[in-house]
Chains A and B, each alone.
Chain A
Amino acid sequence: GNSVTQMEGPVTLSEEAFLTINCTYTATGYPSLFWYVQYPGEGLQLLLKATKADDKGSNKGFEATYRKETTSFHLEKGSVQVSDSAVYFCALSDRGRSGGSNYKLTFGKGTLLTVNP
């Protein structure tokens, strides 16, 4: 079956530090990969996504590259801000061999990021 493994948190950084949150996956088909972010007291919102191998998703200074050879989708940001403090979820949506999405997301457990001023 499908699974997503992301690095255990919590992660605590100082403002302007470099961020990496590791994510690896197991999928039976051709997955699309996502990073969702959950700010305190809110629901999840899409941060970025990539739909095929070697695609790079980017948004708000965050980037992640879909690496099929290492089954990874690590999240990076060059300089974090206090406002980036949130829980980050890696997720996959597995497309079958026919190309259609199976529309169900498999989530990792989430990584809590705290950025101190």
Chain B
Amino acid sequence: NAGVTQTPKFRILKIGQSMTLQCTQDMNHNYMYWYRQDPGMGLKLIYYSVGAGITDKGEVPNGYNVSRSTTEDFPLRLELAAPSQTSVYFCASSLRQGGVSDTQYFGPGTRLTVL
């Protein structure tokens, strides 16, 4: 199993450009998440999905969009990049099993710089 994979690893955008961060998991997990990590801060949840076709906002959704057309893929879209979106982005997934606490599995991250 590859686990959670993310592409690209690094990207530099100009203000106003758009891009999609790709995330794929091969563990048949139903839950997927996008986080951003700013220097010296914990992770903030951007969006999450509880299954194909179902997404919802997290703490910091402004400026981002997501879709979940398949169980495996959960792309994050930035429409009009702004310097405030400079961050490291992590995708994660977990398998929800009843009331048992879930372990989230993280991808290696995408480092995005907006200039």
Contacts and interface: CB of A to CB of B under 8 A. Distances in A.
Interface string B71-99: 00000000000000000001010101011
Contact of A99 (B96, B99, B102, B105): B99
- Is chain A's interface secondary structure helix, strand, loop, or mixed overall? strand
A93 B102 contact: yes
Contacts, number: 66
B53 interface: no
A108 B42 contact: yes
B103 A49 contact: yes
Interface of A: 4, 32, 34, 36, 41-46, 49, 51, 89, 91, 93, 95, 98-101, 103-105, 107-110
Interface of B: 4, 31, 33, 40-43, 45, 48, 50, 58, 90, 92, 94, 96, 98-109
